[in-house]
Amino acid sequence: MAARSAREAVKTDTIAAVSTAWGEAGIAIVRVSGAGAVPLAKSILRFGAMGFPPPREMRLASLLDGAGQTVDQVLVVHFAAPRSYTGEDIVEIHTHGGTLVAQTCLEALLGHPSIPARLALPGEFTRRAYLNGRLDLSQAEAVLGVIRARSAEALRAAARTLSGSLSSFALEIYNELLRLQGNLEVGLDFPEGEPPEVTDEELLNSLEELSEKLRGLEGRCSAGALLREGVRVVLCGRPNVGKSSLLNTLLGQDRAIVTDQPGTTRDLIEEGAVWGGVPVRLTDTAGLREADTGSIEASGIERARVAMEAADVRVWVLDSSRPLEPGEAQEIPQGAVVALNKADLPCVVQEKDVQAAAPGAAKILRLSAKTGEGLDALKEAVLSLARGEGALEEGLNVTARQLADIRACAHAVSEAKTSVREGVGEDVTAGLLGEARGALERLLGLGGGAEALLDSIFSRFCVGK
Ligand SMILES: Nc1nc2c(ncn2[C@@H]2O[C@H](COP(=O)(O)OP(=O)(O)O)[C@@H](O)[C@H]2O)c(=O)[nH]1
Ligand SMILES: [Mg+2]
C-alpha cells in the first residue's frame, strides 16, 4: 500500500528541472510536467496580445521574477496531456543561455505560493513517460543510450532501439510464447483420451523457430551492447615488450611513458578511442612479473591482474626480437590476441612457436608499435572477437540487464524444447514457457516494472531528462 501511494505521488506531483547542461550557451530549456505545469507557467510569464500558446505552438513571452520584474525574453511551448513526452501537460520555457536565467526561472516555478511543484529526480520525466505508457522500458533505457552514445554507430543503434525495433521484435516473441503456453494449458484441462491441442511435433517446430529468433535477437543485442558500453581492451605481458609503446601508437599520442627500463609503468593508464564505429577503452598495464611484495611495482601488477579479469579482450604482447622468457608463452590467457611486437627488428619468435606453446590464443599477429605495421589487423581482430556473431549495422542498443533478460528467455525456451523431447509433461513445458515470458516482461517492463528496478534504471539519467 505504501509503495503504491508513493507511486501515485510520483505520478501526480508537478515536477520541474533545467533540461539543458549548465554553463554558458545559446539557450537553456526549463521543463515543467504535471497538472500544475500550465497554471505555473502562466503565473511566471507575461504574453502579448495573443496570450498563452495553444499546444505545440511556440510563443514569445517575458519571464518575470518573484517581484514581477522582467528577467528575460523567452520562447514557450506547451504539449497537452496525453500527447507529450511524459504523457502529462508539459510546458517548456526556452530562456537565453547562461545558468542564472534558467535558475531564476526554475526557482520562480518551484517557489509559487499556491501551486506546488518540486525539482524532478534524475530521469523522472522519462520514468513518467514509461509509467504513462508512452515508452516501454527498453525504449526508456535507449533514451539514455542516445544521450551517452560515444560513437556515431552507437547513436544509430540507440535510435533503432528507441524507435521500437527491440520492443516490436520482443513483443512478437512474447505473443508467440503466450499462444503456445495457452495451447498447452488448454490441453492440460482436457480429460484423458481427448486429442491434444498441439502435437509434440508442432510444438517442437514452433519452439525451434522461437530459438532461432532469439538467437538473432541476442546477436543484434550483443553487438549493440558493445556499442553502448564500449569494448574494454587490456594490453598485458611481461615488462619491456612494448605495451606502452603500443598504447601510444594506437592512440596517436604519447600517453604512457616508454623507457627501456623494465617496470616503468606502474599504474593503469586508460584512454578512449573509436575503432570502426565502436568505442574502445584501452588500458596499459604494468608488466606482469614477480616483484617484491609490497613494492609499488607489485601493487601495479595486482591492478593489472584485476584489469585483465574485467576486460572484454586481452591483448598479450610479446617481444619477437628476443627469445621468450621461461614460462612467458604459458601465461597467455585463453582467447587472448597475441601481438608479436617489434616486427621491425630481426625476428626471433615465430607465430608457429607461439601457436604451439599457447594453443588457446584466439589470434597471433606480427606488428610493430614503432612503425605502426600490423596495427589495423590488430584492431580488426579485437573488434571481431568482441563483436561475435552480431553485425553492427543491425545492433540494438541494450544494457547488460536487458541482454541478460534475452539470454534468460532463450535459455528457458531451450529447456522447454528438452522437456517436450523427453516427454516430461505439459505442465513442466508450460511452466518453462511462462519463465521465458517472464524474462521478456522484465525486458519490456510489462505489467509495471518492480520499483527497485525502475529506481536503478532511472537514477542513471540526468536531472531534466
Ligand atoms: N624496435 C622497436 N622497439 C620497440 C617497439 N615497441 C617498443 N619498443 C621499445 O621497447 C622498449 C620498451 O617499451 P615500452 O613500451 O616501455 O614497454 P612496456 O614495458 O611493455 O610498456 C622501449 O625502449 C621501446 O622504445 C617496436 O615495435 N620496435
Ligand atoms: Mg609500460
- Domains for the chain: give ranges and CATH numbers: 2-134 (3.30.1360.120), 143-227+395-447 (1.20.120.430), 232-387 (3.40.50.300)
CA of 242 to the centre of ligand 1 (A): 4
pLDDT at 265 over 70: no
pLDDT beyond 90 at 93? yes
Question: Which ligand 1 atom is at minimum distance from the Cα of 258?
Answer: 16
Q: Round to whole Å and give the CA distance between 416 and 431.
A: 9
Ligand nearest to the CA of 245: 1
- Which ligand is nearest the CA of 239, by number? 1
Bigger pLDDT: 110 vs 392? 110
In degrees, rounded to 5, the angle at the alpha carbon of residue 57 between the alpha carbons of residues 55 and 61 is 105
Distance from Cα 267 to the centre of ligand 2, integer Å? 9
CA of 337 to the centre of ligand 2 (A): 18
Which of 183-197, 355-369, 375-389 has the least mean pLDDT?
183-197
Q: Identify the band that residue 293 occupies on the pLDDT scale cut at 50, 70 and 90.
A: low
Mean pLDDT of the chain: 87
Which amino acid type is present at position 120?
Answer: A
The cell for 249 is 601508437
Kindly report the pTM of this predicted structure: 0.69
pLDDT at 174 over 70: yes
Residue 126: pLDDT band (50, 70, 90) is very high
| Cα–Cα distance measured from residue 351 to residue 340, given in angstroms and rounded to the nearest whole number | 8
Summarize the confidence of residues 56-60 as an average pLDDT. 97
Note the pLDDT of residue 288.
Answer: 65
Out of 245, 267, 347, mutate this one to test ligand 1's pocket (max ligand atoms within 8 Å of CB): namely 245
Average pLDDT over residues 446-453: 74
Ligand 1 residue neighbourhood (C-beta within 6 Å)? 239-245, 258-260, 264-265, 287, 341-342, 344-345, 368-370
Give the position, in ligand 1's atom list, of the atom nearest the Cα of 317: 20
Percentage of residues in the chain having pLDDT higher than 70: 91
Lowest mean pLDDT among 114-128, 172-186, 366-380: 172-186
- pLDDT tens by residue, 304-339: 788 888 898 999 999 999 999 998 988 899 999 999
How far apart are the CA of 268 and the centre of ligand 2, in A? 9
Give per-residue pLDDT as tens, 402-436. 888 999 999 999 999 999 999 988 889 999 999 99
> Which residue's alpha carbon is at the smallest distance from atom 3 of ligand 1?
342
Q: How far is the CA of 239 from the centre of ligand 1 (A)?
A: 9
CA distances from 443 to 97, 103, 206, 270, 402 (A): 38, 37, 22, 32, 6
Ligand having the closest approach to the CA of 320: 1
Nearest CA to ligand 1 atom 10: 242
Expressed in angstroms and rounded, the spacing between residue 239 Cα and the centre of ligand 2 is: 7
- Is the pLDDT at 382 greater than 90, yes or no? yes
Average pLDDT over residues 153-157: 86
Which atom of ligand 1 is least distant from the CA of 264? 19
Q: Using CA positions, which residue lies closest to atom 26 of ligand 1?
A: 342
> Has residue 187 got a pLDDT over 80?
no
